[in-house]
Amino acid sequence: MLGLRRAVLAALCLISCATPSLAAPGQCAQPLPPDAPELDSSTEGIELNADEADLLREGLSSLSGNVRVTDGSRAFAAESLRFDTSRRLVEITTESRYREEGLFVRSGGMRFDIDAETGDFDDSEIILQDAQARAGADKMRLRRSGAAELSRVYYTTCGPGDNAWALHASDIKLDREAGLGTARHARLHLFGLPLLYVPWFQFPLDDQRRTGLLYPRVGSSSRNGFDVTWPIYVNLAPNYDLQIEPRWLSRRGLQLGSTARYLGRQQEAELRYEYLASDQRLGEDRAFGELSQRGMINDRLSLAIDYAEVSDTAYFDDLGTDLDRSALTFLPQQMRMAYTAPSAYSASMRVSSFQVLDPSLLNTERPYRRLPQISFEALTPDSLLFTRAGLSSEFVAFDADNVVEGRRFHVNPFLRSFVDRNGWFAGARLDWRYTAYDLSGQPAGAPASPTRDLPSFSAEGGLRFERLTDGGNLQTLEPRAFYLYTPFRDQSDIPIFDSGEPDFDIVQLFSRNRFTGIDRIADANHLAGALTSRLLDRDTGMVRWSATVGQLLRLDRSEVTLDGSEEASSGVTDFIAGFEYRLSRRVSASVSTLWSPDEERFNRTLSRLSYRDGRRRASIGYRYRRDQLEQSDISAGWPIGGNFSVVGRWRRAIREHQSLETLAGVAYESCCWTGRLTYRRYIASTDGEYESGVLLQIELRGLGGLGGSSAQQIDDYTY
């Protein structure tokens, strides 16, 4: 702990001339004492009230006994005071109480010039209601602007009688108009013990954004050693800003990160860059850059950019702070521009590439670059006899290394009919798909310009039944049927650029192609059916439970396959079922499963039981996929009393008897300060290597924080 303290102290000394970031004001109540004088905005001029009054000389009066002086915007109270009428000066040599909007001062003596709106206070106790803070000072000067200058002072946002933390300084200036406090020669005391010294320090009095320091992140991990990040926020303008993140890793060196953000009326963008010069473990420079942009160029034309690149494939394994990033296989590098004419047509163009992060992938396992991809879709705005005509088309130039590449043109005109009434709906669609290729790198004897044309017909319909249960709730029964016919075409000479086979689920029951992409269009002659029922609460409209079961009947075998896959045999498929049940507003359960009637066993199951009531959260999950995985997932976040709460998560691979992730933490949170200690061990790389670390965070409400930002992490890991 001593080493941690010294490291944080060193960091503070290095950046002590910067302005710390804005944190929200403390939330502890700072009530005014019962003897605080009342403000009366209706008062005109100066009003004096006292038990006794003596005229010492012309213009100078001495008042005693329950004295009150008010002038509308401020009020004074004391047992005795002197008031100079000509100079409009209030002088008090005994205990006094002063109040103006948002400020209360109890002092051992004071001198206040009403016309100049300035005053000097001795031995003062101050309450700043707007900042929900309090302070004490040997000397305080109040300026016309509302700024207060305090000497030999302490400042805290803790409630009365609670000094869990306090900032002691030789002098502090509280600029209430600017919402900023400035301290010189400041010492941070935690539970009465001096923790840090800072020669110059600023802190917020309101919740406005300002340039300064954000909460530091302090932790330790087995891979990087001691890890400290201290972000600096730069508020450049109301709609764009910059965040600079110096990060020191004891086993690697100093890394510098930065994030720039822009928000316009129709545009938003974020640019991030990280750089580590000469990694001490690898002896090489390492970097990561990422750009994300979304926006409208005009009312119909949009632009989106996603571009990311790293210096080496192990970057996220070694230096990443996001678990999802460490499991990435590719980094996207793409731009998309789209033009939309509502209810008429749309056109888009995309160029996309990627960076491979898994060097073990073969060339045939890597996605293709699209240079470019141009799409056009149209639909008649009006229908004739419930029928509308449409067109979907696409041109793509696929680029890759050492594999088949080429260009693909696809066009799909169609007619679509649909009728929807309260108790039923019905529809049909007739498609004709034509696809042409211009290829290079084909195996010997394979055509360089294959083509394919396919008609397709689908029809669907459904009913909606409703009834009132004995309890007055509404129950629905919704049967639905879908028929699809697509003739067989031999597509074995066509390479696979973007096709795949998704999981078989409720959505796939009603899909017009059991493959994704265009390179494979499955032949089909099948009938799908599903039955859904829901129970709606009569008082709240909440869905108490919903259940769906469905199955697909293939009248003929589906012969089109992906490379290495099997044909889809005729007959019935597995049953697909899903069930969701809300036992109460706090407790819910869900199950989705795939059941094979031939083999009489489950092929896939996903289930979860969850409890959520404010900060009380718990979840138990189970995931099963035959011959592939079986995992359990238990998580909870729970207050245990006395402002303490605990959090934990355990994900485990059941068959392998292997823990995938373990997290445990304890937190203390009051209106004055928050402390969190979190331990986490997880698989951090694609080769299954474990990473473990500890995060410590201390947040002082209304001042700043020390440690890792585990609050959001705890929320992310409870359900």
**pLDDT at residue 30 in the model:** 87
- CA gap 397, 377 in Å, rounded: 18
Task: Give mean pLDDT, residues 131-151.
Answer: 91
- Token pair for 84: 């100079």
pLDDT tens-digit map of 301-314: 999 999 999 999 88
Asked which of 157-166, 207-216, 416-425 is least confident by mean pLDDT, the reply is 207-216
Question: Letter for the amino acid at 532?
Answer: T
* Higher-pLDDT residue of 222, 556: 556
Alpha carbon 209 to its chain's center: 19
**pLDDT at residue 2 in the model:** 34
* Higher-pLDDT residue of 15, 90: 90
Rounded to 10 degrees, the C-alpha dihedral 136/139/144/145 comes to: -50
**pLDDT at residue 190 in the model:** 87
* Residue 48 backbone dihedrals phi, psi, to 5 degrees: -110, 135
Asked which of 166-170, 317-321, 489-493, 587-591 is least confident by mean pLDDT, the reply is 317-321
Residue ranges per structural domain of the chain: 17-176+186-201
Task: Give mean pLDDT, residues 478-506.
Answer: 93
C-beta neighbour count of 366 within 10 angstroms:
16
**pLDDT at residue 716 in the model:** 47
Between the two ends of the chain, the Cα-to-Cα distance in Å is: 32
Alpha carbon 466 to its chain's center: 40
Whether residue 410 has pLDDT greater than 50: yes
Whether residue 704 has pLDDT greater than 70: no
**pLDDT at residue 24 in the model:** 36
Whether residue 584 has pLDDT greater than 90: no
Output the CA angle 166-668-641, nearest 5 degrees: 130
Whether residue 390 has pLDDT greater than 60: yes
C-beta neighbour count of 635 within 10 angstroms:
20
Mean pLDDT of the chain: 87
CB 200 within 8 A of CB 17: yes
Whether residue 475 has pLDDT greater than 90: yes
pLDDT band at 685 (very low <50, low <70, confident <90, very high): low
DSSP category for residue 344: T
Mapped onto helix, strand or coil, the DSSP state of residue 507 is helix
Whether residue 14 has pLDDT greater than 60: no
Task: Give mean pLDDT, residues 334-360.
Answer: 91
Name which CATH class applies to 17-176+186-201: mainly beta
C-beta neighbour count of 551 within 10 angstroms:
18
pLDDT tens-digit map of 212-257: 777 777 788 878 888 888 888 898 998 999 999 999 999 999 999 9
Q: Between the ranges 297-301, 315-319, 670-674, where is the mean pLDDT highest? A: 297-301
CB 438 within 8 A of CB 407: yes
- CA gap 133, 366 in Å, rounded: 58
**pLDDT at residue 686 in the model:** 58
Question: Letter for the amino acid at 189?
Answer: H
pLDDT tens-digit map of 614-660: 889 999 999 999 988 999 999 999 999 888 999 999 999 999 889 98
* Higher-pLDDT residue of 259, 598: 259
pLDDT tens-digit map of 507-538: 889 999 999 999 999 999 999 999 999 999 88
**pLDDT at residue 322 in the model:** 61
Residues, the chain: 719
As a whole-number percent, the residues of the chain with pLDDT over 70 amount to: 92
Tell me the three-class secondary structure of 120-163, residue by residue: EEEEEEEEECCCCEEEEEEEEEECCCCCEEEEEEEEECCCCCCC
Q: Is the peptide bond before 216 cis (omega within 30 degrees of 0)?
A: no
**pLDDT at residue 517 in the model:** 92
- CA gap 599, 611 in Å, rounded: 35
- Token pair for 153: 């002072």
CB 518 within 8 A of CB 490: no
CA distances from 693 to 224, 257, 325, 454, 680 (A): 9, 21, 17, 57, 6
- Token pair for 425: 């709906």
Whether residue 412 has pLDDT greater than 90: yes
Alpha carbon 494 to its chain's center: 42
Whether residue 559 has pLDDT greater than 80: yes
Tell me the three-class secondary structure of 417-448, residue by residue: EEEECCCEEEEEEEEEEEEEEEEECCCCCCCC
As a whole-number percent, the residues of the chain with pLDDT over 90 amount to: 58
Rounded to 10 degrees, the C-alpha dihedral 361/362/366/368 comes to: 160
Give the number of C-alpha atoms closer than 13 A to the C-alpha of residue 592, restricted to the C-beta side.
9
